[in-house]
Amino acid sequence: MRILHTADWHLGKYLHHASMLEEQAYALEEFFRIVEHANPDVLIIAGDIFDRSLPCAGSVKLFNEVITRLARDFRKPVLIISGNHDSPERIDYGAHIFGISGIHVRGAYCPRAEIISLEDRAGKVDFILMPYLEPAVVRQRLDSPDVQCHQTAMHSALARFSPRKNLRRVAVAHAFVSGGIESESERPLTVGGSSQVMADTFAGFCYVALGHLHRPQCVAREAVRYAGSLLKYSFSEADHKKSVSLVEIDAEGKCFVEAIPLAARRDVRIVTGHFDELLRHTPPPAAKEDYVMVELKDDGPILDAVSRLREVFPNLLQIQRIRTQRGSGSMTDSRKIALRSEKELFEAFWKEVQGTDLNREESRLFESCATAQELEIHAKGSDEATAN
């Protein structure tokens, strides 16, 4: 059986202040070309369809067009689960009617959800669709106080499906499986505590189609796989090669995975250099519209850096100073900072920004300002004391 596995579309996502909706529509056209060419038996979308639980009208329209085309032109089963960015109930909208057209959606966790079974020449393949599991929801729906974290939630939810004789079982889930590599555009699943699920929780599945981590990757074994996101959704992903996963499951349940590259209309990349050097830079025409973060090597102040750099990089979204970023170790150590005098702190700040030490005149000026400020605070304090 041939499966095309994708995830983390994040429709309606903004990269800094730039809406990615047009880029997403372009990438989905690419996706349709891949679907047509690969001709899979089934398609999996493993969560984070939308970027927000209340998706914008444009992203709902785009998703509507996509599933309509899949049902009308592709006519193969599509398996969809919710991710942590999606609203489970909203993802379930129309699920029953969609199911009749072969679009199987699982938004909210339901212990009674049945297995989707598909057949090929070698027999049946069972698909267990596990939407994003919020431990508190699983605890309540299974009435099981033992469910306290993502690990126990996934374990308990999967345990409902007792292993059958069928060797060929596929799990579809949206989770953070231990050992996976994170990116900046993923929203953490918990604040404090562990959000991770051990890979061996999925033992017994011949393929695990995962969503959540945005870098395409396998975890623990080749058949436990994140398809990765549709596009690069942060500059931390500049080096990613986005793809969809084409998975072939043979008669014995052995998997063969191929990553099919997903080309973006505009790349997301980091450009490093000195300001003057970058102004003289001429990107190749195809890369002119890329989303760019500039890392400046310059030390001194630069006037109007953004608008001048935008003449070269029209889609410049962020500027970072490499020097300021790295800082001096002592500036980031809060305990050391607390022990320093105001004068010492200002001297360090001046050196950080200007790259030179305070001269005698600047030093005197600081002292007179600091004294004046102190007197003012003092005067204010005693005024307030009198008023009280």
Residues that bind Mn ion (CB under 5 A): 8, 48
Min dist. Cβ of residue 214 to Mn ion (A): 6
- Rounded distance between C-alpha atoms, residue 12 and residue 57, angstroms: 9
For Mn ion, give the closer residue by CB, 51 or 92: 51
Q: Which residue is nearest to Mn ion (CB)?
A: 48
Min dist. Cβ of residue 174 to Mn ion (A): 8
Buried b (16+ CB within 10 A) or exposed e, 234-267: bbbbeebebbbbbbebeeebebebebeebebbbb
Min dist. Cβ of residue 87 to Mn ion (A): 14
Q: Taking a C-beta distance cutoff of 8 angstroms, is the pair 348, 331 a contact?
A: yes
For Mn ion, give the closer residue by CB, 85 or 168: 85
For Mn ion, give the closer residue by CB, 202 or 233: 233
For Mn ion, give the closer residue by CB, 181 or 286: 181
- Rounded (5°) CA angle 152-135-180: 65
Min dist. Cβ of residue 212 to Mn ion (A): 6
Min dist. Cβ of residue 187 to Mn ion (A): 7
Helix (H, G, I), strand (E, B) or coil at 70: helix
Q: How buried is residue 15: exposed, middle or buried, by Cβ count under 10 Å (0-12/13-18/19+)?
A: buried
For Mn ion, give the closer residue by CB, 125 or 208: 208
For residue 16, give the DSSP letter: T
For Mn ion, give the closer residue by CB, 48 or 237: 48
For Mn ion, give the closer residue by CB, 19 or 166: 19
Q: Taking a C-beta distance cutoff of 8 angstroms, is the pair 158, 195 a contact?
A: no
Task: Give residue 309's Cα distance to chain centre.
Answer: 27
Q: Taking a C-beta distance cutoff of 8 angstroms, is the pair 309, 294 a contact?
A: yes
Task: Compute the radius of gyration of the chain from its Cα atoms.
Answer: 27
Min dist. Cβ of residue 104 to Mn ion (A): 20
CA neighbor of 158 nearest in space, from 177, 145, 142, 136: 142
Min dist. Cβ of residue 184 to Mn ion (A): 11
Residues listed for the chain: 388
